[in-house]
Chain A
Amino acid sequence: MSSKQKKEPMQPLRQWGPAVALAWFIPGGGHFLLKRYGRAGLLFASVVLMFLLGLMMRGHFLKPQSGDLLTIVIYYGGFLCNLLSGIPYLLATWLGYSQPDMAGAVHDYGTKFLVTAGLLNVLAMVDAYEIAVGKKD
C-alpha cells in the first residue's frame, strides 16, 4: 500500500535546483549541465523548433483572462505553458511579438505549437530533476 510506504526525503535544493532552473530557462540546458549532451541537443532542437514553428504560423500567446471556469483554465493554463518555454518565450515577448487571436486553422495550430513547446519543456525539467537526484541515469 502506498500509504504504508516510507516517503523518501526531499533531496537538497542545491543538488537539483540549478539543473531544473537552467532546464526551464534554456530548453535542454538542464541535461547539458548534467553532461547529457546528446539528449540536451535533442530536447533543445525539439522544443525550440516547435516554438519557432508556432511563431511562424502566427500563433497567439495566451494571456490570463477571467470569465467562466473553462476560460480561466484555458487562458491561465496557456499563459503558464507559454511561460514554461523559457528563453524563447521571453525573447519573443521582449522583441515585440504580438499576434492577435485570429480565426484560421494555421493560426490555431500555431497557438497549440507554442503551448505544447512549454509542456514539452516541463517534461525535460522533470527529467533533469530525476537525473540530478540520481533517480535516473
Chain B
Amino acid sequence: MPKVNLSHFEAALLFSLFTSIVLGVVTKRTDRERLIYGLYCFACFVAVLFGLGWLMYFGHR
C-alpha cells in the first residue's frame, strides 16, 4: 500500500468532498436536490475550513 503525505488542507478538502457526496446522496429525494445539497455541504465545509484556519492564524500571533 503506497503511502501518501497530504497537507492539512488537502486532507480536509478530500474529507469534505467524500462526506458531502454521501450526505447529498442519502438526505434528499430528487437528483437535483441531492446535487444542490452536496454542493452546499461542500461549500460549508470549505468555508469553515478557511474560517478556522484564519482563527487559528490570528490566535497564534
Contacts and interface: CB of A to CB of B under 8 A. Distances in A.
A72 B39 CA distance: 35
A19 interface: no
Give the dominant DSSP class at B's interface: helix
B18 to A, nearest CB: 4
Given A112-B15, A136-B29, A56 B22 contact: no
A57 B21 contact: no
Contacts, number: 63
B26 A124 contact: yes
Interface residues of A, number: 27
Nearest to B34: A39
21 contacts: A46-B19, A47-B22, A49-B18, A50-B14, A53-B14, A56-B1, A57-B6, A57-B11, A109-B8, A109-B11, A109-B15, A113-B11, A116-B19, A120-B19, A123-B23, A123-B26, A124-B22, A124-B25, A124-B26, A126-B26, A127-B26
A70 interface: no
Interface of A: 39, 42-43, 45-47, 49-50, 53, 55-58, 97, 105-106, 109, 112-113, 116, 120, 123-124, 126-127, 136-137
